Amino acid sequence: MTVDQPRPFAPRATAAELDDLRARLRATRWPDVPEDAGWSLGTDVGYLRELVAYWADEFDWPAQEAALAELPRFRVSIGGLGIHYVHARAVAPSGPVLPLVLTHGWPDSFWRYTKVVSLLTDPAAHGADPADAFDVVVPDVPGFGYSDRPPVPLDSIAVAGLWARLMSTVGYDRFGAAGGDLGSHITRYLALDHSDHVVAVHRTDAGLPVFAGDPADLTPSERDWMRGAAAWGASEGAYAAIQRTKPQTAAAGLMDSPAGLAAWIVEKLRAWSDCDGDIERRFTKDEILTNLTIYWLTGTIGSSMRMYAANAAIPPAQLARRIEVPSGFSIFQGDVVRPPRAWLDRTAHVVWATEPPRGGHFAPFEEPELYAQELREFFRPYREVVASGG
């Protein structure tokens, strides 16, 4: 079987694409706003107007594109799909190097990890131990970012299989894996289905609870968590219900209107981050718009949402499987739907669990130094496993 060779990748938006984006932003047809609505009914239209004006008249995408191009980025065909990924190697390591694949979630892309790549590959440059250096691979999930949009939506099980092949293609037989949100789900299936290659996994969440057993078998903390998760779903989960059932309906508007795309995503960046209601405590306008512009230029909002539909069809028996690969969790204090330790132990072989004091659902972007330190500490014992071939 012929193996496609990775190719360096540095996309550049055309002037016509950027002119079209600005014209659409300036022509936004704004909704009316109930008095004093703020963020209570969704995205604050006042803030959205401010962001859209900045996007149209001040945001410098070529500068952001050039900054992203400083990362070593590639594309390769895996399973007939073009996969975009960052592949950054350890700088001057003083011991065994652990390869690590980092998987993002929704609504983002490899963007989630852009701040942590150098922290992980070159810890010495950031005041940390050079023995903790990683080789880092950060792919875009198919249908997100600069990876191909799959003709049929892929679920997390299928993407985990692609990642196992990707890591082999770029030269790693044994590696660690980490992720959050959908990336946590994909990382879970890497541990379940590819344990002969995965030495340990780290996750920043345990997903939403799925339990088909007798509720009496749950601990009080687990029952409380499930009630809290159900309440969160009732008040905050409308987006997920749409994305797993009727994603194409939403995609028609979001693909056509950059202001609509911004409203759909910005509300989640604010609600899920540790920002105390002020989104720009965690994300500058340039950072928000870099994420949004990737979505706009790649046309991936529809394909990214369709993954929710694919995951909704995963059989319950798959969701009930327990991870036996050594597992670590960093449950950041500002995240949503935070699981108790009892649930982590029920669903995985937990050897390490922490609750970092700050940071939310986008912890690698919100608190890159803290997140990088969590990974260094958790994966430290597994470097020798890879080095010994064990």
Residue 3 has what pLDDT? 59
Inside any domain, residue 31: no
Phi and psi dihedrals of 357, rounded to 5?
A: -75, -10
CATH of residue 84's domain is 3.40.50.1820
Contacts of 291 (CB under 8 A, 6+ apart): 107, 108, 109, 111, 265, 269
Question: What is the pTM (predicted TM-score) of this model?
Answer: 0.96
Angle, nearest 10°, between helix axes 182-193 and 301-312? 50
Asked if 348 contacts 198 with a C-beta cutoff of 8 angstroms, the reply is no
For residues 47 and 45, give the distance between their C-alpha atoms in angstroms, rounded to a whole number: 5
Average pLDDT, the chain: 96
Residue 374 structural domain: 7-20+44-388
For residues 210 and 275, give the distance between their C-alpha atoms in angstroms, rounded to a whole number: 28
DSSP assignment of 8-55 equals E------HHHHHHHHHHHHT--PPP--TT-TTTTSS-HHHHHHHHHHH
User: Which amino acid, 168?
Assistant: S
Q: Give the length of the chain.
A: 390
Inside any domain, residue 34: no
For residues 52 and 39, give the distance between their C-alpha atoms in angstroms, rounded to a whole number: 16
Inside any domain, residue 286: yes
For residues 101 and 201, give the distance between their C-alpha atoms in angstroms, rounded to a whole number: 10
Bridge partner residues of 87 (DSSP): 137
Inside any domain, residue 145: yes
Inside any domain, residue 269: yes
Query: What is the count of structural domains for the chain?
Result: 1
pLDDT at 272 over 60: yes
For residues 232 and 335, give the distance between their C-alpha atoms in angstroms, rounded to a whole number: 12
Angle, nearest 10°, between helix axes 182-193 and 156-169? 70
Query: pLDDT, tens digit, for every residue of 217-249?
Result: 999 999 999 999 999 999 999 999 999 999 999
Asked if 85 contacts 117 with a C-beta cutoff of 8 angstroms, the reply is no
Inside any domain, residue 374: yes
Nearest one of 244, 238, 299, 247 to 268, comparing CA atoms: 238
Confidence of residue 1 (pLDDT cuts 50, 70, 90): very low
Residue 4 has what pLDDT? 81
Just list the catalytic residues: 181, 308, 361
Query: pLDDT, tens digit, for every residue of 65-111?
Result: 999 999 999 999 999 999 999 999 999 999 999 999 999 999 999 99
Quick one: what percent of the chain has pLDDT higher than 70?
Answer: 98
